[in-house]
Amino acid sequence: MSRANNQIIEKLINFGSIPFSRMKAQISIEFLTGVAVMLFIYVTTIGIYSSYAQTDIIESEIAQEICYRVATGVSSAVIGGNGFTVNISLPYRIQANNYNAVIISNQSLVTVDWKNGLFACSIVSQNVTGKFVYPGKFSANNINSVVYITSVTTDDLTYVPGETVKISGGYFLNNTIVNVINEQKISMPGYPKIVLATNHEFNDTWIAGAPGLYVISGTDTVKKSLYGERVIEVI
């Protein structure tokens, strides 16, 4: 084979080839780039998961605390006997999430249900009247070995001036003294007033006043220890 043919074949073999040193460098760069991308995805995923996990843990801890507060209040009223009264305050939110009510079931369970979860704990008695506890302050009263749970709620936590605030509550043995007090502890016009209780529950409305915080409360007209309250904000 002629020298000219050998040169042609060598050129064909080497055509498009990459020197080994360049190839090695290119592979190293591509490998490091791939590893960097995978590490970024891993760190991002772990960070997001950790954030969600931490939020879930905090929310669960708050829900657990709410559940135990209710259970402890009811159990204390049971153990305390006839005439025992306790007032207990509950937070209005679980982290950023509202929760409507805490349910006391006939299976001696207290259940906290919110957007991202559910938590339940037990109580020592089924002889409880008033199955819903609302965020705010509620009372547990032992009257002749029956525990009466009294709580007050509204249809929202924040309002604008002139908006209608729907107020309700239970459990009341008699009619209810409803009061709306501003931050200066001054009752709003028309309050306090007596509202008829039907089936031991009441309903009322108030037209939101000037911006500020307001305490809305309900008190039994005869048994004053049957009491509940809720704080709302007009913005």
In DSSP notation, 66-78 reads HHHHHHHHHHHHH
Dist. CA 147–CA 133, nearest whole Å: 13
CATH code for position 164: 2.60.40.10
| Together in a domain, 143 and 45 | yes
Q: Over 70: is that where the pLDDT of 204 sits?
A: yes
Q: Which residue has the tokens 């913005």?
A: 235
Higher pLDDT, 95 or 169: 169
Q: Over 90: is that where the pLDDT of 226 sits?
A: yes
Q: How many domains does the chain have?
A: 2
Q: Over 90: is that where the pLDDT of 191 sits?
A: yes
What percentage of the chain reaches a pLDDT higher than 90?
53
Dist. CA 235–CA 229, nearest whole Å: 20
pLDDT band at 50 (very low <50, low <70, confident <90, very high): very low
pLDDT band at 39 (very low <50, low <70, confident <90, very high): low
- pLDDT recorded at residue 89: 94
Dist. CA 55–CA 95, nearest whole Å: 8
pLDDT band at 12 (very low <50, low <70, confident <90, very high): very low
| Together in a domain, 134 and 45 | yes
| Together in a domain, 34 and 137 | yes
- pLDDT recorded at residue 215: 97
| Together in a domain, 137 and 57 | yes
Give residue-wise pLDDT tens across range 62-78. 999 999 999 999 989 98
| Together in a domain, 143 and 229 | no
Q: Which of 5-19, 91-105, 124-138 has the lowest mean pLDDT?
A: 5-19
The domain of 204 spans: 155-235
| Together in a domain, 19 and 127 | yes
| Together in a domain, 135 and 177 | no
| Together in a domain, 184 and 221 | yes
Contact by Cβ (8 Å): 109, 122: yes
pLDDT (average), residues 212-235: 97
DSSP secondary structure string for all residues of the chain: --HHHHHHHHHHHHTT---HHHHHHHHHHHHHHHHHHHHHHHHHHHHHHHHHHHHHHHHHHHHHHHHHHHHHHHHHHHHH-TT-EEEEEE-SEETTEE---EEE-TTSEEEEEETTEEEEEE-S-S-EE--EE-SEEEEEEEETTEEEEEEEEES-SEE-TTPEEEEEEE--SS-EEEEEEETTS-BPTT-SEEE--BTTEEEEEEE--SSEEEEEEEEESS-TT-EEEEEEEE-
Give residue-wise pLDDT tens across range 170-184. 999 999 999 999 999
Contact by Cβ (8 Å): 70, 132: no
Last residue of a domain, one of 105, 133, 150: 150
102: Cα separation from own chain's centroid: 11
Last residue of a domain, one of 117, 132, 150: 150
| Together in a domain, 133 and 166 | no
Total-model pTM: 0.72
Pairing of strands 128-129, 146-154: parallel
Q: Over 50: is that where the pLDDT of 46 sits?
A: no
Last residue of a domain, one of 95, 116, 150: 150
| Together in a domain, 94 and 132 | yes
| Together in a domain, 141 and 28 | yes
- pLDDT recorded at residue 31: 53
Nearest to 153 by CA among 220, 85, 230: 230
What is the CB-side half-sphere exposure of residue 29 using CA atoms within 13 A?
Answer: 6
Dist. CA 29–CA 216, nearest whole Å: 68
| Together in a domain, 52 and 162 | no
